[in-house]
Amino acid sequence: MNQLATTGISRCPIDHGAFGHAQSNGKPASANGCPVSGRAAEFDPFSNDYLQNPPEYVRWAREEEPVFYSPKLGYWIVTRYEDVKAVFRDNKTFSPSIALEKITPNSDEANAILASYDYGMGRTLVNEDEPAHMARRRLLIEPFTPEALKHHEPLVRKLAREYVDRFINDGRADLVNQMLWEVPLTVALHFLGVPEEDMDMLRKYSIAHTVNTWGRPSPEEQLKVAHAVGNFWQLAGKILEKMRQDPDGPGWMRYGIRLQKDHPDVITDSYLHSMMMAGIVAAHETTANGTANALKVLLEHPDAWQEICEDPSLIPNAVEECLRYNGSIAAWRRLVTCDTRIGDVDIPAGSKLLMVSSSANHDERKFEDAGHFDIRRENASEQLTFGYGSHQCMGKNLARMELQIFLEEFTRRLPHMKLAEQTFHYLPNTSFRGPEHLWVEWDPAQNPERKNPGILDLQAPLRLGEPSASAISRPVVVQEVQWVAEDILKLKLISPDGKPLPRWTPGAHIDIECGDTGISRQYSLCSDPADTSCLEIAILKDPESRGGSAWLHENIKPGDRVRIRGPRNHFRMDSSAEKIIFIAGGIGITPISAMAREAKQRGIDYEIHYSGRSRSSMSFLNELEALHGNRLHVYAKDEGNRNDFARLLATPDAKTQIYACGPERMLEGLAQCCENWPEDALHVEHFHSVLGELDPSKEQAFEVELKDSGISLTVAADQTLLQALQGANIDVQSDCGEGLCGSCEVRVLQGDIDHRDVVLTRSEKEESRKMMACCSRSAKGEKLVLEL
């Protein structure tokens, strides 16, 4: 047991004589040699600054000291996305056993009070180690499947309707007190099968449990909290006893009681009693706070609010973005079981970790323009508010359902609602985060249902699990259509309301939807990333077009509204490279032109080799010549001038990176010429998928084991891995569905892969550590083990 952590003593855990840690960390040690920086020493998760905005409070750490020791808390603090995810992923090195431990140790007096109630909170799921945890989780998961959750939809809708009815004519309400606390509590009790008596009492008790577990109560408060927690424990015991007498009734807790008969070692008495108490909090406070946070952030961004009012199909992704931007779990805990390393920091066994998941959700390395609230963010659902891996929130889809239904009800019935003037207060604690009150105002005379009662019958279809790709598209207006070369059109796209478009990095692309054809196509961005007033793409009319480029050429005109998705970047440039050779064939110049501009701005040594049929078929020649002068080499075939890759790349150079985009044949030729170059020197972007249709008579079924989630699945011969994963309620992003975009990448721990995508590099394919779930399969029909 880590002495510092339990006592909270302000001492540094590092031997001050040994500077190794400070140096490996790259952080300057303070004058006395202590490697705890000034800011780390000040870190206080009970301070108002943390409570108001945890990711902002630790921005400095995310940028400069991503893993640091907090002497005030006695915990190591982890702030970056990849580090937090890596910790969640490995539940052996990073045990969840302290997830429900009191972060502030109790006084002896408070402990005596708890003992007088026989308080004995033990292991549930969230704080249980393997192998006990997974055995229990697997037994108890059935009521969380999408099929089972659908049964709760009518109740959530009914409650949302009734509660809004109560105040819709008042013009002012505290949504937390008048709805958001009670409805999720009622749903939680219904899910668990607990009678709805004593709701007020339960509310008080569950706040006490939060303060007891994640807060810093004063010695006097500790005594009050101990009584409330003791009472909560006893009430949980009584409810459990009643349930045992009627085990065939509804709810998840009775489901567990029934399973106990056959699995007494897995579903223990201690589990049931502890879960009865912890389950109410897990299912209730998280969702109540989550909805209050979501409404607050949406009302603070009136454009986003207006958009979801006008188009409810945006709600599922808006929910994900709210959970990312302003989630209800700010941080979560793990215990380090053996000496290890997080990022470049050595962490000794016995250390305690506070992973600031809300900070991970604001990490620029993962989320482009992370500080921007964007309800169309394409990877919003990769937020870590539900945790990740084997302990990932089992109730996430129930929570998503509630959030979606609440937002739907409010946007339909109170679209004119505004935040009232107020100061927001948060219960001082590290983890559970939501405003204590949320005052809103509106003019009841403007209530849409007064004019049109029919709106009450409208209902958006519920989407359980990940938002669809279509929920993340955004409308743009075509401002300019310009011929830039033979058969090549450049489109300049602006936002309909003149607001800035999302920031992007060179190599990024967007998907553009071709009207109502159901077709969408990906095009690299070629404008200046610094200019957020527009996005530019160039479209070659492809003679083998499957409808996309031909449709765009024939139909698009200035003033048209089109829908795009992204920007997204799977062709990122390493801006720390010393030298870059850019190679473009034909329309492949589009991402290369944005990258070359960036290379010039950053002072990187670079050259561009641009080939085409003829100068007239090559876009942007004049601009490129003006900007890049003699760094640009042009090869026009009709002038008898061809790029000789073998000569250009004859001498491998460890300091040079190659970025290439162009036709398949050109890229294949390049790959051959780069065989003697260092692995990963060559980065390519393909135009087309090389994927064919899935033919079940030629495919083999195979097994996959999901290491982090602890489950196994069969991928049938007529099914993709992605379909099998999504069918099992495992969140995996996807977009193109044909091995082009890289969104469905999953990590592979074991097994040979038949790679069918055009995203991974040659060496990545040989290494077989990653695969695209939408198209790639097991090479020999043998089992694959995935890090999911």
Q: With respect to ligand HEM, which residue has the nearer C-beta, 332 or 367?
A: 332
286 contacts ligand HEM (rule: CB under 6 A) = yes
For residue 698, CA distances in Å to 341, 693, 716, 753 come to: 45, 11, 12, 16
Q: Which stretch binds ligand FES (CB under 6 A): 199-207, 360-368, 590-598, 734-742?
A: 734-742
Q: Which stretch binds ligand HEM (CB under 6 A): 66-74, 304-312, 393-401, 602-610?
A: 393-401
Q: With respect to ligand FES, which residue has the nearer C-beta, 278 or 722?
A: 722
Give the three-state DSSP class for 335.
Answer: strand
Give the three-state DSSP class for 761.
Answer: coil
Extract the tokens encoding 539: 């479209």
DSSP output for 445-501: GG-HHHH-GGGGG--PPP--SSPPGGGGEEEEEEEEEEEEETTEEEEEEE-TTSPPP
Among 81, 94, 191, 255, binds ligand HEM (CB under 6 A): 191
The residue ranges of DSSP E strands in 23-117, in sequence order, are 67-70, 75-78, 94-95
254 contacts ligand HEM (rule: CB under 6 A) = no
Considering CB distances under 5 to 8 angstroms, the limit depending on partner class, which of ligand HEM, ligand FES, none binds residue 759?
Answer: ligand FES
317 contacts ligand HEM (rule: CB under 6 A) = no
**788 vs 784: CA distance, rounded Å:** 12
Among 392, 545, 689, 726, binds ligand HEM (CB under 6 A): 392
Phi, psi of 200 (to 5 degrees): -65, -40
256 contacts ligand HEM (rule: CB under 6 A) = no
Site residue total, ligand FES (CB under 6 A):
14
For residue 347, CA distances in Å to 21, 30, 363, 388, 420 come to: 9, 19, 22, 21, 46
Q: With respect to ligand HEM, which residue has the nearer C-beta, 126 or 564?
A: 126
How many whole angstroms from its chain centre is CA 650?
A: 43
393 contacts ligand HEM (rule: CB under 6 A) = yes
The CA dihedral of 703, 145, 236, 335, to the nearest 10 degrees, is 40
**763 vs 760: CA distance, rounded Å:** 8
Give the three-state DSSP class for 270.
Answer: helix
Among 240, 282, 583, 722, binds ligand HEM (CB under 6 A): 282
**608 vs 601: CA distance, rounded Å:** 15
Give the three-state DSSP class for 616.
Answer: helix
**701 vs 777: CA distance, rounded Å:** 9
Give the three-state DSSP class for 261.
Answer: helix
744 contacts ligand FES (rule: CB under 6 A) = yes
Considering CB distances under 5 to 8 angstroms, the limit depending on partner class, which of ligand HEM, ligand FES, none binds residue 598?
Answer: none
> Which DSSP helix (H) or strand (E) runs through 549?
helix 548-555
Phi, psi of 231 (to 5 degrees): -65, -40
Q: With respect to ligand HEM, which residue has the nearer C-beta, 329 or 577?
A: 329
388 contacts ligand HEM (rule: CB under 6 A) = yes
Q: With respect to ligand HEM, which residue has the nearer C-beta, 337 or 545?
A: 337
Give the three-state DSSP class for 282.
Answer: helix
471 contacts ligand HEM (rule: CB under 6 A) = no
Among 70, 106, 213, 287, binds ligand HEM (CB under 6 A): 287
267 contacts ligand HEM (rule: CB under 6 A) = no
Q: CB of 654: closest distance to ligand FES in angstroms?
A: 30
**735 vs 718: CA distance, rounded Å:** 19
386 contacts ligand HEM (rule: CB under 6 A) = yes
Extract the tokens encoding 26: 């790259």
Considering CB distances under 5 to 8 angstroms, the limit depending on partner class, which of ligand FES, ligand HEM, none binds residue 741?
Answer: ligand FES
Residues between 753 and 772 with contacts to ligand FES, criterion CB under 6 A: 757, 759, 772
Pairing of strands 656-661, 682-685: parallel
**720 vs 725: CA distance, rounded Å:** 9
Q: With respect to ligand FES, which residue has the nearer C-beta, 296 or 686?
A: 686
Give the three-state DSSP class for 177.
Answer: helix
381 contacts ligand FES (rule: CB under 6 A) = no
Considering CB distances under 5 to 8 angstroms, the limit depending on partner class, which of ligand HEM, ligand FES, none binds residue 757?
Answer: ligand FES
Considering CB distances under 5 to 8 angstroms, the limit depending on partner class, which of ligand FES, ligand HEM, none binds residue 329?
Answer: ligand HEM
125 contacts ligand HEM (rule: CB under 6 A) = yes
Residues between 323 and 342 with contacts to ligand FES, criterion CB under 6 A: none
**515 vs 512: CA distance, rounded Å:** 9
Considering CB distances under 5 to 8 angstroms, the limit depending on partner class, which of ligand HEM, ligand FES, none binds residue 743?
Answer: ligand FES
Selection from 619, 627, 514, 503 nearest residue 561 by Cα: 514
126 contacts ligand HEM (rule: CB under 6 A) = yes
Among 742, 748, 760, 788, binds ligand FES (CB under 6 A): 742
Q: CB of 377: closest distance to ligand FES in angstroms?
A: 17
774 contacts ligand HEM (rule: CB under 6 A) = no
Among 25, 97, 317, 328, binds ligand HEM (CB under 6 A): 328
**716 vs 66: CA distance, rounded Å:** 42
Among 173, 175, 329, 335, binds ligand HEM (CB under 6 A): 329
Extract the tokens encoding 64: 């400069």
Q: CB of 738: closest distance to ligand FES in angstroms?
A: 6
469 contacts ligand FES (rule: CB under 6 A) = no
> Which DSSP helix (H) or strand (E) runs through 10?
none
Among 501, 736, 786, 788, binds ligand FES (CB under 6 A): 736
Extract the tokens encoding 487: 């058969």
C-alpha torsion sign, points 161, 166, 169, 170: negative
Selection from 544, 523, 538 nearest residue 619 by Cα: 538
What x-and-dash track marks residues 83-102 binding ligand HEM by CB under 6 A? -----x-------x------
Considering CB distances under 5 to 8 angstroms, the limit depending on partner class, which of ligand FES, ligand HEM, none binds residue 386?
Answer: ligand HEM
Strand partners, 524: 509
Q: CB of 387: closest distance to ligand HEM in angstroms?
A: 2
Q: Which stretch binds ligand FES (CB under 6 A): 179-187, 232-240, 261-269, 735-743?
A: 735-743
Considering CB distances under 5 to 8 angstroms, the limit depending on partner class, which of ligand FES, ligand HEM, none binds residue 126?
Answer: ligand HEM
Selection from 171, 163, 160 nearest residue 408 by Cα: 160
Site residue total, ligand HEM (CB under 6 A):
27
Among 329, 660, 774, 784, binds ligand FES (CB under 6 A): 774
The answer to whether residues 699 and 718 touch, using CB atoms and an 8 Å cutoff, is yes
Binding footprint of ligand HEM on the chain (CB under 6 A): 88, 96, 125-126, 137, 191, 282-283, 286-287, 290, 327-329, 332, 385-389, 391-395, 398-399
Binding footprint of ligand FES on the chain (CB under 6 A): 734-737, 739-744, 757, 759, 772, 774
